[in-house]
Chains A and B, each alone.
Chain A
Amino acid sequence: MKWVMLIILCLSGPAWAGEARPLADDPAAEARLKHLAVELRCLVCQNQTLADSNAPLAEDLRREVREMIAKNMSDQEIIEFLVARYGDFVLYRPPLKATTTVLWVGPFVLMAIGATALVITLRRRSRTVVEVSVTDEEHRRVEQLLAEGEKRS
């Protein structure tokens, strides 16, 4: 029985292995599409790029971008086409505008707050640590005690 299964498996293997569909006739256009698509966000699965996503809309948008590339439109024009329809949200690197200032400046503000807090606490701590001066006599005694402790262990 096992043998029969194995033979069936071996025979059916090649039947499934269809050839990969060529992405486009023009490899240069495909390279441009790839280059553009990693900069663009898929609107359906929002944490994926247009290049990664298998959502039907992403496929449609890739087709659209391919056609625009075939029409010899510049990257700038293609991105403008998409932004006009879907807004800055399609861009993984949104432009600096009034609405996106928090996005761009926020992390630096947070970092500045953190850095100041760190400096303040460090300063405060250094003030609380009292420097204790040790005389030569005391120093000798410490060494003696340490040496004794070593011997015991």
Chain B
Amino acid sequence: MNRFLLPLSIFVVVVGFLGIGLTLNPREIPSPLVGKAAPEFSQPQLHEQEKILSPADLKGKVWLLNFWASWCNGCKTEHPVLMDLAKSGQVPIYGMDYKDQREEALTWLQRGGNPYSLVGVDETGRVGINYGVYGVPETYVIDKQGVIRYKQIGPLYPDTVEKKILPLVKQLESQ
């Protein structure tokens, strides 16, 4: 019995580690930008191209910045969640149309509804790089001082909104 005890315990430890490994998502890379000032940009707006969207204009507000694209699959799952969040009016969502065709982006918003207060256009993906975006959709929670407080990689689910986004927004609002 004793001679099996050691191999068995090693086996259990290895299985334990592998089990934990299965629950981790290798695509979730901790962002070094959380806790830092949101990178500046001034991008043309999607609807009124002569106007500009810039984080500087949003100082003093808690807001979400959502990178999306009409070609992005995860954005389809996320869209109804954003619509619900926008309807609840608890936090303004600003969109960044990432490496997209203008016409297709406009059609997308017409069909599925527009949850965004304003949408900026990042045609070259440069704003995306400054925000460390590596897969749309990605969502940032930005506080009144313009500091990034949270980054969601991949689509927002009702669960994430309830448990992470809204409590954080409330806390930031009260500051």
Contacts and interface: CB of A to CB of B under 8 A. Distances in A.
B30 A85 contact: no
B20 interface: no
B134 A87 contact: no
Contacts of A104: none
Given A43-B134, A85-B130, A85-B132, A60 B30 contact: no
Contacts, number: 42
Contact of B26 (A46, A56, A61, A64): A46
A1 interface: no
A86 B129 CA distance: 9
B72 to A, nearest CB: 12
B32 A84 contact: yes
Contact of B124 (A60, A61, A86): A60
A57 B30 CA distance: 18
* Majority secondary structure of chain A interface residues (helix, strand, loop or mixed): helix
Interface in A5-47: 43-44, 46
B4 to A, nearest CB: 15
Contact of A87 (B31, B99, B128, B129): B31
Interface string A82-112: 0111110100000000000000000000000
Interface of A: 43-44, 46, 56-57, 60-61, 64, 83-87, 89
